[in-house]
Amino acid sequence: MRRGLKWTMISALIALASTGCADAKITNSKSDKSNSAQADSKTSFTMSMATSGNKHAERSVDVNGEKWVLKLEELTNTDLDIRMLPLKDFASKMSLLFASNDIPDVVQNVGGATSKGMSGSVESGIFMPLDDLLKEHAPNLMKSVPKEAWQETSYGGKIYGIPAWLSNPSRRALFIRSDLLEKTGLPAPKTVEELLDVMRAMKKVGVEFPYQMRENFKYADTVLGAYDVLPSQFELQNGEVIPKFFDVENMTRALETYKTMYDEGLIPKDFASLTSSDYNKNNESGRSGMWSANAQLLPELRGKLYDAVPGAKLDIIPSPRGPENVGGHLLYSSINTSYYINSKVPQEKAISIIKFFEWMLTPEAETYFSFGIEGDTYTKNGDGSIAFTPPTAPEAMDEDRFRSMFWFVHDMIYNKAKEELTKDGRDMIHYLDTVMSKEGLGTIRFSPALETFSKYPDASPLGDDVGPKLIIEHMVKMIYGKEPISDWPKVIDEYKKKGGLDIIKEATERYNSGEGVIVSNNRK
């Protein structure tokens, strides 16, 4: 660091002699930074990251001028130049980034080292392996991150990415309007049959959508999960790795259940084209009786619902069980986002960046990202405890979440320090620890993804939680009554002919070789 400072000072003197002006730092998004000696001693690095759909981030004219970024720089002695990529364009923007010669020092990815968003950049040597740097300069990270998360940010036996991880990969939950359940006089459903009975009873008391659904069967795990046939998941059967929808008996039962829900008006008639925006509006406005969502959103969803429907009650209940006593929603990947250091970054700077991420696990970081700035957004009581009032206005809530976006590396399951301050937060923690920890559906994942996924896109999952396009289209037709459900074996045959057999062959070979295979098991 002293050597780097020495050369910086020499360069500054040369520039001063030749131009008669102070050293000026110019970046794409920063033009007003201090040029003091203290600023020169900071670790400066560029970084790209997603807006994560945060409205405050997407409204910001200059994210680097935001007080939350400036405070982060002060706490970490860094000089950040952050480039925000809109979430809706994230994949295309990442592709353009890698196609350019302007790759930042640090790149955030939504997913792991070899996921689609990385465009083969790790494999082609754009980023540096981090094993030695992490072991020497980030011992807390090495100890805290689960091995499954390191596995997903690795390639060829080397760690390339630093993950924001999930200690509990069971995140999705079945939300229920408990005030409406009380009106029906029925207990919370424990089986699929009881789930249907509750839906019917809700319909009788005037609930427009007893169960809410949306396009592509996204967040439709409640029924598919009860039969363990989530279309995006794989399992080992008779020595082969096959899609779970090959289970004709249980897939048929799931489709018959959905068709009953459709025929009886228990779900929206236009569910197959219902966007995420409309899905959320229906839930938040009080039109829905039950739906699936991230359990971590309980406080937020309660707030929005209670504003729209005074007297409403919203809770999380265990997902109904199917004939094999399984249920719940898919188990997530062990990582949320991950961070990669450009291989062109000098060693000393790379070490400082590693230390920047290591700082994210300190109590100081937890306090800052949870509560903000003392005297501004929180105060301390006489006993040293935090006095913090969570914002309730939409814009203030967006800004509060905006600050937490920069807590790049930590356990993402929930923010315990913050959530324990409110009843809604404590309820959310309770549900995650007592309900979600006991349910969830595992799968066999491949990192990097199977090559046959690219070769046969219509027969490949559209995402971790969305099945292949070919499968989704037949599911919709069967629920709408345009195809008989009894034809499901024909759908499997079509899948095999349109690339499925090659996918199964490669998946089985990869599984047997143990090459980039991540296995998560069902929770019972």
* DSSP structure class, residue 319: P
End-to-end alpha carbon distance in the chain: 53
- The pTM (predicted TM-score) of the whole model is 0.80
Instruction: Indicate the pairing of strand 288-294 with strand 172-177.
Output: antiparallel
Q: Tell me, what amino acid is at 418?
A: K
All structural domains of the chain with their residue ranges: 42-165+334-380, 172-331+440-519
Tell me whether residue 439 is exposed, middle or buried, using C-beta atoms within 10 angstroms of its C-beta: 0 to 12, 13 to 18, 19 or more: buried
β-bridge partners, 236: 241
Question: According to the model, what pLDDT value does residue 40 have?
Answer: 56
**Helix H or strand E encompassing 161:** strand 161-165
**CB-CB contact of 134 with 144 (8 Å):** no
β-bridge partners, 155: 158
CA distance 27 to 518: 41
Q: What is the CATH number of domain 42-165+334-380?
A: 3.40.190.10
**CB-CB contact of 218 with 466 (8 Å):** yes
Assign 3-class secondary structure to 188-235: CCCEHHHHHHHHHHHHHCCCCEEECCCHHHCCCHHHHHHCCCCCCCEE
Instruction: Indicate the pairing of strand 43-50 with strand 106-109.
Output: parallel
CA distance 402 to 356: 19
316-325: burial string, b at 16+ Cβ within 10 Å, e else: bbbbbbbeee
Those residues with Cβ within 8 angstroms of residue 274's Cβ, 6 or more apart along the chain or in another chain: 213, 214, 215, 268
Residue 189 corresponds to which tokens in the numbers above? 């459903």
| Each residue's pLDDT tens digit, 60-113 | 999 999 999 999 999 999 999 999 998 888 888 998 999 888 899 999 998 889
CA distance 118 to 112: 8
Residue 521 corresponds to which tokens in the numbers above? 């098991």
- At the topology level of CATH, where does 172-331+440-519 sit? D-Maltodextrin-Binding Protein; domain 2 (3.40.190)
Question: According to the model, what pLDDT value does residue 397 have?
Answer: 86
CA distance 429 to 417: 11
User: pLDDT 10s digit of each residue in the chain, 524 long?
Assistant: 333 433 333 343 333 334 343 333 333 444 444 444 444 589 999 999 999 888 899 999 999 999 999 999 999 999 999 999 988 888 889 989 998 888 999 999 988 898 878 988 999 999 999 999 999 999 999 999 998 899 899 998 899 999 999 998 999 999 999 999 999 999 999 999 999 999 999 999 999 999 999 999 999 899 999 999 999 999 999 999 999 999 999 999 999 999 999 999 999 999 999 999 999 999 999 999 999 999 999 998 999 999 999 999 999 999 999 999 999 999 988 898 999 999 999 999 999 999 999 999 999 999 999 999 999 999 999 999 999 998 888 899 899 999 999 999 999 998 888 899 889 999 999 999 999 999 999 999 988 889 999 999 999 999 888 999 999 999 999 999 999 999 999 999 999 999 999 999 999 999 999 888 888 888 86
Say if residue 139 is preceded by a cis peptide, omega within 30 of 0: no
β-bridge partners, 379: 387
CA distance 339 to 355: 13
**CB-CB contact of 475 with 494 (8 Å):** no
* DSSP structure class, residue 33: -
Those residues with Cβ within 8 angstroms of residue 173's Cβ, 6 or more apart along the chain or in another chain: 292, 293, 294, 295, 298, 316, 319, 329, 431, 435, 436
Residue 316 corresponds to which tokens in the numbers above? 């999380």
Tell me whether residue 470 is exposed, middle or buried, using C-beta atoms within 10 angstroms of its C-beta: 0 to 12, 13 to 18, 19 or more: buried
